[in-house]
Amino acid sequence: MNTVEHISRDELTKKIARHDHFRLVEVSPEAEYHRAHLPGAINLPPNQVGRLALKRLRDRNAEIVLYCDGSESDPAAEAARELSERGYTNVREYAEGKQDWIDTGLPIERDKVEGEGEIS
């Protein structure tokens, strides 16, 4: 069984600040991702990891950091195992997840979703 290497919040914030070349991936339902995600993250909904990875994560040797909301169910760990099984060689997990990031006061990005926000 493949063990997924973890990345700490401190290491991840440094990688983002240095603009290191890696893919940051939130494993959550699309609506949750649009409400708030870590800077530069892309989204892979938990039930679509295998299908979307081929389109969004083409380089199987690139560094990929996965995270989810930090809840007890850990879709990021499951996605990391699935990617490893599909031949991705450099997969890591930010296990503490998005809630830890937000609780620490680090910046997030939000996407405007139709039907939310201002009333026309």
Residue 45: which domain range? 5-103
On whether the CB atoms of residues 91 and 4 are closer than 8 A, the answer is yes
Which residues does residue 42 pair with via DSSP β-bridges, in sequence order?
25
Residue 116 within a domain: no
Residue 77 within a domain: yes
What CATH number is attached to the domain comprising 93? 3.40.250.10
Q: In total, how many domains does the chain have?
A: 1
Residue 118 within a domain: no
pLDDT digits (tens, 9 = 90+) for 24-66: 999 999 999 999 999 999 999 999 998 999 999 999 999 999 9
Residue 31 within a domain: yes
pLDDT digits (tens, 9 = 90+) for 76-116: 999 999 999 999 999 999 999 999 999 999 999 998 765 54
Give the count of alpha carbons within 13 A of 116, CB side only. Answer: 7
Instruction: Please name which of 120, 77, 107 lies closest in space to residue 9, comparing C-alpha atoms.
Output: 107
pLDDT at 119 > cutoff 50: no
Question: How far, in Å, are 18, 37, 63, 65 from residue 5 at the CA level?
Answer: 21, 21, 11, 10
